[in-house]
A and B are shown apart, each in its own frame.
Chain A
Amino acid sequence: MSHVSSVKAYVTDLKVCAAACEEIGLELVTGATSYRWYGKWVNDYSGGAAAVSNGHDPKTFGTCEHKIRVKGAGAHTYEIGLVRRLDGGPGWELLYDNWCGGQGLEAVAGAGLGKLKQTLAQTTSIQHLQKQGYRVTKRVDEQGRIHIGGIK
């Protein structure tokens, strides 16, 4: 029997997250209780990708348990907050202000934080499969998708 699962990415391991951040020029700051954003919710966006559409209270915007920042960034570059998952599962969700690409944040973390999420998932997969005794391979296809294979 074989199966296919779709998985929504969360941060579940801070060490893995720190390693993924390091790889692409970001820095995890553990214990940070606030992250930089515009600072005021202006209710200008409620699309499917909006935090408010996914159940996050705007009153909590800017508060977090940990944060991710661009290494060497200036004082205006927005940051990413790690906040507890609203579904009660283990780990954290990533929240950030994407106005003007997060003032430079998306240039490093990718649009929609895609590069960060991709690197996080890659690091998690490789570490997990190697621990389970799989022989691991990696390739990147023309669309930029990363393929991690584990065989034993």
Chain B
Amino acid sequence: MPQQIDVVIDTNGDIVVSTKGFTGKSCQEATAQLERALGATTSDRPTAEMHKPVANVLRGRS
């Protein structure tokens, strides 16, 4: 079975990384480096759940 890594990036820049076809914990090892390159992992679980976007704006929107 081929090993597959999928990255979905929405229009807010929120990122979900998922894997298929890996055995044991090798899937987490396979994506750890990618996730570090992308930023910081906020959750790691078997089902997708988007995190709250943080825009880091300095002031309010007019």
Give the interface size class of chain A: 35 or more
Q: How distant is B34 from chain A, measured CB to nearest CB, in Å? A: 5
Q: Decide: B42 and A125 in contact? CB cutoff 8 A.
A: no
**Which chain B residues border A151 with CB–CB below 8 Å?**
2-4
Q: Decide: A5 and B44 in contact? CB cutoff 8 A.
A: yes
A window 23-50: CB within 8 A of B: 37-38, 41-42, 44-45, 47-50
How many residues on chain B are close to A (CB under 8 Å)?
Answer: 59
Q: Decide: A122 and B9 in contact? CB cutoff 8 A.
A: yes
Which 4 A-B residue pairings sit nearest by Cβ, starting from the closest? A117-B13, A45-B60, A10-B39, A112-B55
Q: Which residues of A come within 8 Å of B, CB atoms?
A: 1-10, 12-13, 16, 37-38, 41-42, 44-45, 47-52, 54, 56, 58, 61, 85, 87, 89-91, 93-100, 110, 112-118, 120-122, 124-125, 128-129, 132, 134, 143-152
